[in-house]
């Protein structure tokens, strides 16, 4: 139809096969959200937060105290693993891996811990990311060659007195820590508590990766510092 002289032009007709402007703007907005907000949404909405540090469990009020002297072994409920701070796609988060495959025990004579040895199956440590676990077992810890991490007490721990049931006591522990085939002396605080028929022990040991020849776990999209924490929760029962 011809436009009459003096008649204002009407709105342009959409082209066949063309993309409406509002769809184009919506696509650009979605792309911007994916690029700039995607990591935040992934780590703060979609994924679960990292588990809190290991800590001593609550002790019931009706616990009957028993003797402390003797041999104690690791039992169900024990855990060990790592905690490191990483920056992944611009987001700061804690990377945590754990295993319940912990073995070993302690010997108490009077008010002195005379012996303690523990072993952790590093090949069984798992986090919330299978790709991280594969890197941990391979390049980082080489668990196919160095499967276990071990701790052996080298100095007796003097308790001074036997604490009441449900009363935590914090002492210094000194010993040899072996990881990735390297043994180094460490001293760290640990907290122990008498529980129902047993003893609970909790410790967080600072680890500098280079001290045990552990490669820095930084890779393409994740940056990690040069240190982390070895977390331990030991639940002990009397050895039979």
Residue 203 belongs to a domain:
yes
In angstroms, rounded to a whole number, what is the distance separating the alpha carbons of residues 152 and 166?
A: 26
Q: What is the pLDDT of residue 60?
A: 58
Contact between residue 117 and residue 152 where contact means Cβ atoms under 8 Å apart:
yes
The CATH number for 145's domain is 2.40.128.110
The dihedral formed by the CA atoms of 229, 177, 210 and 97, expressed in degrees to the nearest 10: -40
* Digitized pLDDT (tens) for each residue of the chain, 240 residues in all: 455 555 555 555 545 455 566 555 555 554 444 444 444 444 444 456 788 888 888 765 555 566 789 999 999 999 999 999 887 767 778 889 999 999 999 999 999 999 999 999 999 999 998 988 999 999 999 999 999 999 999 999 998 888 788 889 999 999 999 999 999 999 999 999 988 779 999 999 999 999 999 998 776 567 888 999 999 999 999 997
Token output for 139? 């390049």
118 touches 150 (CB < 8 A): yes
**Of the candidates 195, 208, 209, 192, the residue with the CA atom closest to the CA atom of residue 238:** 195
Any bridge partners for residue 92, and if so which?
A: 87
What is the pTM assigned to this prediction? 0.77
Residues 182 and 215 in one domain: yes
The number of distinct structural domains making up the chain is: 2
The values of phi and psi at residue 160, to 5°, are 85, -55
C-alpha R_g of the chain: 28
Q: Look at residue 166 in the predicted model and tell me its pLDDT.
A: 82
Query: Looking at the structure, do residues 36 and 87 belong to the same domain, yes or no?
Result: no
Instruction: Determine the pLDDT at residue 48.
Output: 66
Asked if the structure places residue 174 within a domain, the reply is: yes
Task: Look at residue 26 in the predicted model and tell me its pLDDT.
Answer: 56
Q: In the prediction, which pLDDT does 181 show?
A: 96
Is the residue at 56 inside a domain?
A: no
Domain that holds residue 79: 67-238
- Domain identity same for 171 and 72: yes
SS (H, E, C) the chain: CCCCCCCCCCCCCCCCCCCCHHHHHHHHHHHHHHHHHHHHHHHHHHCCCCCCCCCCCCCCCCCCCCCCCEEEEECCCCEEEEEEEEEECCEEEEEEEEECCEEEEEEEECCEEEEEEEEEEHHHCECCCHHHHHHHHHHHCCCCCCCEEEEEECCCEECCCCCCCCCCEEEEEEEEEEECCEEEEEEEEEEEEEECCEEEEEEEEEEEHHHHCCCCCCCCCEEECCEEEEEEEEEEEECC
pLDDT at res. 118: 98
């Amino acid at each position: 139809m011809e436009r009459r002289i003096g008649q204002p032009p009407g709105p342009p007709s959409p082209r066949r096969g063309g993309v409406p402007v509002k769809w184009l703007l919506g696509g650009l907005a979605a792309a911007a959200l994916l690029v700039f907000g995607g990591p935040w949404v992934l780590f703060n909405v979609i994924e679960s937060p990292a588990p809190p540090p290991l800590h001593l469990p609550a002790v019931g009020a009706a616990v009957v105290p028993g003797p402390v002297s003797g041999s104690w072994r690791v039992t169900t409920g024990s855990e060990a693993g790592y905690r490191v701070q990483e920056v992944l796609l611009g987001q700061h988060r804690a990377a945590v891996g754990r295993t319940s495959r912990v073995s070993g025990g302690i010997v108490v004579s009077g008010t002195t811990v005379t012996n303690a040895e523990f072993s952790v199956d590093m090949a069984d440590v798992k986090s919330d990311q299978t790709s991280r676990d594969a890197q941990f077992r391979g390049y980082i810890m080489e668990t196919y060659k160095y499967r276990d991490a071990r701790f052996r007490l080298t100095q007796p721990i003097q308790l001074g007195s036997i604490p009441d049931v449900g009363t935590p006591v914090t002492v210094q522990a000194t010993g040899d820590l072996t990881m990735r085939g390297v043994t180094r002396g460490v001293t760290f605080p640990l907290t122990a508590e008498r529980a129902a028929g047993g003893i609970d022990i909790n410790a967080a040991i600072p680890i500098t990766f280079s001290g045990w020849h552990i490669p820095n776990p930084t890779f393409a999209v994740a940056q990690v510092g040069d240190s982390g924490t070895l977390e331990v929760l030991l639940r002990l029962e009397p050895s039979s």
